Amino acid sequence: MKLQSRPAAFAGRLLVAAMLWVAGLGLAVAETPDELLQRADHLKTANNSEFQGLLGQLDTQAPALSATQRDYIAYLHAWQLGYLGRYEDALAAFQAFLARVEDPTLLARARISLVNVQVNATHYEEAYATLDALLATVGQIEDRTARFLSQTVAATLYGDAGQYDLALRYVDQALAYDHGDRSSCIALTQKAATLARSSQLRADDASVQAGLDACIRIGDVLYANLVRAYQAQALVGAGRSNDALRLLQAHDAEMLGTHSAAATSIFRALLARCHLLAGDLDKAREIALSAIDYGIKQAYSKSVADAYAVLYEAAKRQGHFPNALEYHEKFAAADKAYLNDTTARTLAYQMVNQQVLDKKRQIDVLNEKNRVLKLEGEVASRAAETQRLYVAMLIFGLASIALWAYRTKRSQIRFQTLSRRDGLTGIVNRQHFMDEAKISLQYCAKSARDVSLILVDLDNFKTINDTWGHGAGDGVLKQTVAACQKYMRSVDLFGRLGGEEFGVLLPDCTIETAARRAEELRAAIAGTAGAEIAVSASFGVTSTRQSGYDLRQMLLHADSALYRAKRAGRNRVERSEPPAAIQVA
């Protein structure tokens, strides 16, 4: 697993909730309550200790403040709960806040912060649903800060779901909207996070340095050190671990002073890796243990897994083999939890996105019905114009409606057929696959019949596109489908789930039989390779005996098996682990 993936994900989420800055931050000698609120909001991440002091000062003045000012204080308290890692308390505080507050600016900012907390609390579907509601009203938000952060929160969550191009597009929109130092610090740090997570970041990237300079100018230590962490990750990736070590050591004390447990865990896990690469095993062990202590509140923290990996390697080099074995087991458990969490994020995005598309289709259908009703009303009003032409107009109107309804029905049938098929390969698309798979599982569950699921992902497909062009990539997808269709039964459900990923649902099929059929498909796909383009695929297999009759659980388990196939070298078939092994502690 690449070192840079989790820091990029965390920093993106931190960007969403941390910096809700206000225009015009001139400080007076004697500050009014509004000025105190603005300064506290400004210092949330730049100096969290001073922020807490200002929050206490505002609490003492609360009885004499307006309702809107007291709501502002309540928002800051809820934000601090999330910042300290008390996610369930923060969720409850934000939900209560949204239920009673009416100020549109505070509502928008609370929703932005709520998205951050929902992600940290692993409530991913709720987070994407909240984001969808936020983006639907972004045009109505007058506050510049809230509008800006609506775009950065979108960039963060889309990056978490692997939609990197979409995430970068929202970053560019945020940068175009506001060019101030605070906005540049937030947006450019998010851009660096997205590039790091997608393995596109270079140590000398100009946008990274621009983001760091902006954060330094506004005095935001937390963001500045997150940017330095990206630089260090890129340096390690380029084989310059000593440069990365010097960069992180120079600012380690600053990061500790931010009070951000998650950010400190990420920073120190990377610092421990640099000490390990430098051969300082004792220092690597010391800092790795502290990274675990800081990151322990996050159940799916990649930094904790990275720290355990450092402890394992250090213990092995020192000859402490019992300790090494213990640390390796803890690393494996943490890494597996993180991978399952990453899969859950992607599925949550896909499911919420599908729900949004379904709602849009429902609205389109209602619009069509409204058009019919409007036409019927026009026909009725015309009939009242003259008694003499009533019969003729009625007949004409009914005939028009019948013809329109006939054409509309034909269009609906054609649209329904097209909406179920993938335009490139001709097999069923993701939506229809999910709908039919749920129906099939419900039917088989009544009689306890075995059902298996195979997930197929072409190996190195991006390399094929980059080397031979998208036309060649499309040809590979068509050849793959044609090769697989020869092995499909009439009862099997074969669909394209997205990109180069396919799914096969096999009713009345045990996992052993499904594994053999997956091996046949693997050989068939490998047999389509040409003289110049090598084609292979990795397979993940599960069944209802391992996963139950819940489609989402089957997808998670099959995807986990598919990932193990990728890690084991690709071009292979892996089965889902037994139920006792796949449960997350």
pLDDT digits (tens, 9 = 90+) for 20-40: 433 333 333 468 988 888 888
Pairing of strands 493-498, 501-507: antiparallel
Question: Which H/E stretch holds residue 454?
Answer: strand 451-458
DSSP, residue by residue, 490-529? TT-EEEEEETTEEEEEEET--HHHHHHHHHHHHHHHHTT-
Q: Using the 8-state DSSP alphabet, how is residue 137 labeled? A: T
CA distance 235 to 243: 7
Among the residue ranges 78-87, 207-216, 379-388, the one predicted with the least confidence is 379-388
Choose the weakest-confidence range: 9-23, 128-142, 434-448: 9-23
Pairing of strands 451-458, 501-507: antiparallel
- Of residues 139 and 550, more confidence is placed in 550
Q: Which long-range contacts (CB under 8 A, 24 or more apart) does 248-252 make?
A: 248/274, 251/224, 251/225
Please check whether residue 268 is in contact with residue 294, taking contact to mean a CB–CB distance below 8 angstroms: yes
Q: Is the pLDDT of residue 583 over 50?
A: no
38 φ/ψ angles, rounded to the nearest 5 degrees? -65, -40
Kindly report, residue by residue over 301-355, the tens digit of the pLDDT.
788 989 999 999 999 999 999 998 998 998 898 888 777 777 777 777 777 767 6
Mean pLDDT, rounded, for 108-134: 84
Return the residue matching tokens 């906005």. 183
Judged against a pLDDT cut of 80, whether residue 459 lies above it is answered with yes
Sign for the pseudo-dihedral over CA of 62, 68, 73, 77: positive
Q: How many CA atoms lie within 13 A of 238 on its CB side?
A: 17
Indicate if the pLDDT at residue 18 is higher than 80: no
Say yes or no to pLDDT of 452 above 80. yes
Confidence of residue 405 (pLDDT cuts 50, 70, 90): low
pLDDT score at 196: 83
Q: What is the mean pLDDT of residues 357-378?
A: 62
Distance CA 244, CA 240 (A): 7
Report the Cα 172 to chain-centroid distance in Å: 18
Between CA 133 and CA 141, with CA 139 as vertex, the angle to 5 degrees is 85
Give the pLDDT of residue 281: 93
The candidate with the shortest Cα–Cα distance to 192, out of 213, 209, 217, is: 209
DSSP state of 21: -
Confidence of residue 384 (pLDDT cuts 50, 70, 90): low
Q: For residue 379, what pLDDT is reported?
A: 60
For residues 223 and 189, the answer to whether their CB atoms sit within 8 Å is yes
Structural domains in the chain, CATH included, are: 5-343 (1.25.40.10), 430-582 (3.30.70.270)
The pair of structure tokens assigned to 339 is 């991978």
Q: Is there a contact between 205 and 195 (Cβ–Cβ < 8 Å)? A: yes
Pick the more confident residue, 453 or 261: 453
Are 506 and 484 in contact by the 8 Å Cβ rule? The answer is no
Across the strands, what pairs with 574? Answer: 540
The two three-digit tokens of residue 324, written as one number: 């090494």
Chain centroid to CA 173: how far? Answer: 19
DSSP E strand stretches across 148-258: none
- Which range is most confident: 102-106, 232-236, 300-304, 570-574? 570-574
> What is the C-alpha separation between 26 and 9, in angstroms, rounded?
33
> Tokens 């951000």 map to which residue?
260
- pLDDT interval class at 19 (50, 70, 90): very low
pLDDT digits 0-9 by tens, 544-570: 999 999 999 999 999 999 999 999 999
Query: Distance between CA atoms of 235 and 205, rounded to whole angstroms?
Result: 11
Ramachandran bin of 577, using left for φ above 0, alpha for ψ from -120 to 50, beta for the remaining angles: beta
Closest CA to 105 of 113, 95, 116, 117: 113
User: What value does the mean pLDDT of the chain take?
Assistant: 83
pLDDT in tens, 519-546: 999 999 998 877 678 899 999 999 999 9
- 339-348, 408-417, 469-478, range with the lowest pLDDT: 408-417
CB proximity list for 146: less than 8 A, separation 6 or greater: 20, 105, 108, 109, 112
- By mean pLDDT, which of 243-252, 383-392, 449-458 is the weakest? 383-392
pLDDT band for position 143 (cuts 50, 70, 90):
confident
> Which structure tokens are listed for 306?
């990275």
Q: Which phi-psi region, left, alpha or beta, contains residue 570 (left: φ > 0; alpha: ψ -120 to 50)?
A: left
Q: Which pLDDT score, from 0 to 100, does residue 581 have?
A: 46
d(CA 225, CA 220): 9
Residue 515 tokens, joined: 């594994």
CA distance 108 to 147: 8
pLDDT digits (tens, 9 = 90+) for 169-222: 988 888 887 778 888 898 888 888 888 888 888 878 888 888 889 999 999 999
Please determine, for residue 8, whether its predicted confidence score (pLDDT) is greater than 80: no
Query: What CA–CA distances, in Å, run from 21 to 47, 98, 377, 462?
Result: 13, 20, 53, 40
Confidence of residue 582 (pLDDT cuts 50, 70, 90): very low
